[in-house]
């Protein structure tokens, strides 16, 4: 068995898009309906993917808006960023684009490109509540050269897929395992 690898991932996005719900669904395997939206919390989790063990640190941020100033800590030691918006909120889709710009400004200077994974949450909602289509999310991610997934914090499988995907994307940059293709289908 190879040595475990440590990976640190930050979860960013507008408030109430489901950053904490998605993270807790992955870490604890349950959907929590009310979680203090103002706190930043770091969760840890071990996961094995393709025979490789990973020690994950997940920084569940308190959320950002277009005026947020990113603390420098968001650029240190982070292996990847998961940018979350809700398919029920146009505002959250706009904010995720501003966040990406800011990340480019902050991290892009030091690195070639921040490694991002664009995730739309709330895909469990009915068509009537949806305002952002899967295609819109996908083409935004393509324009960033980022991976894209639709997920729901209510479904464990999709939440797990988000984090696995992020790790595989990071591996890809290191020349490791190949992740699957970007997909709009629910996994």
Q: Which residues bind ligand GDP (CB under 6 A)?
A: 13, 15-21, 33-35, 37, 63, 121-122, 124-125, 152-154
For residues 23 and 21, what is the distance between their CA atoms, to the nearest angstrom? 5
Q: Which is nearer to Mg ion, 57 or 182 (CB)?
A: 57
Q: Which is nearer to ligand GDP, 5 or 45 (CB)?
A: 45
106 binds, among ligand GDP, Mg ion, none (CB under 5 to 8 A by kind): none
Using CB under 5 A, which of 20, 89, 92, 158 touches Mg ion?
20
CB within 8 Å of 98: residues ≥ 6 apart:
64, 65, 66
Neighbours of 126 (CB within 10 A): 7
Q: What single-letter DSSP state applies at residue 3? A: P
- Is 92 among the residues that bind Mg ion (CB under 5 A)? no
80 binds, among ligand GDP, Mg ion, none (CB under 5 to 8 A by kind): none
CB of residue 14 to Mg ion, shortest distance in Å: 11
Q: Which is nearer to Mg ion, 19 or 154 (CB)?
A: 19
CB of residue 130 to ligand GDP, shortest distance in Å: 11
124 binds, among ligand GDP, Mg ion, none (CB under 5 to 8 A by kind): ligand GDP
Residue 121 tokens read as 């949450």
Residue closest to ligand GDP (Cβ): 18
Q: Which is nearer to Mg ion, 29 or 37 (CB)?
A: 37
Count of residues in contact with Mg ion, rule CB under 5 A = 3
CB of residue 5 to ligand GDP, shortest distance in Å: 26
Q: Which is nearer to ligand GDP, 20 or 116 (CB)?
A: 20
Q: List beta partners, residue 12.
A: 83
Residue 46's nearest CA partner among 22, 31, 27 is 27
For residues 63 and 22, what is the distance between their CA atoms, to the nearest angstrom? 13
The Cα-based distances of 26 to 22, 111, 143, 159 in angstroms read 6, 28, 27, 6
Q: What would the 3-class secondary structure string for 70-97 be?
A: CCHHHHCCCCEEEEEEECCCHHHHHHHH
| Binding positions for Mg ion, rule: CB under 5 A | 19-20, 37
């Amino acid at each position: 068995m190879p040595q475990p690898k440590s990976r640190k991932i930050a979860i960013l996005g507008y408030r109430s898009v489901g950053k904490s719900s998605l993270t807790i669904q992955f870490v604890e395997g349950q959907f929590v309906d009310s979680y203090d939206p103002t706190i930043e919390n770091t969760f840890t989790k071990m996961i094995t993917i393709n025979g490789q063990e990973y020690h994950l640190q997940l920084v569940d941020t308190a959320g950002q808006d277009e005026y947020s100033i990113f603390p420098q800590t968001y650029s240190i030691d982070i292996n990847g960023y998961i940018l979350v918006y809700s398919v029920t909120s146009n505002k959250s889709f706009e904010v995720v684009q501003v966040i990406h710009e800011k990340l480019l400004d902050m991290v892009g200077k030091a690195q070639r490109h921040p490694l991002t994974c664009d995730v739309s949450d709330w895909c469990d909602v009915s068509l009537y509540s949806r305002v952002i289509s899967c295609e819109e999310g996908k083409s935004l991610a393509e324009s960033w050269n980022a991976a894209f997934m639709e997920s729901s914090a209510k479904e464990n499988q999709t939440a797990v897929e988000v984090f696995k995907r992020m790790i595989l994307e990071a591996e890809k940059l290191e020349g490791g395992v190949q992740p699957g293709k970007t997909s709009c289908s629910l996994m």
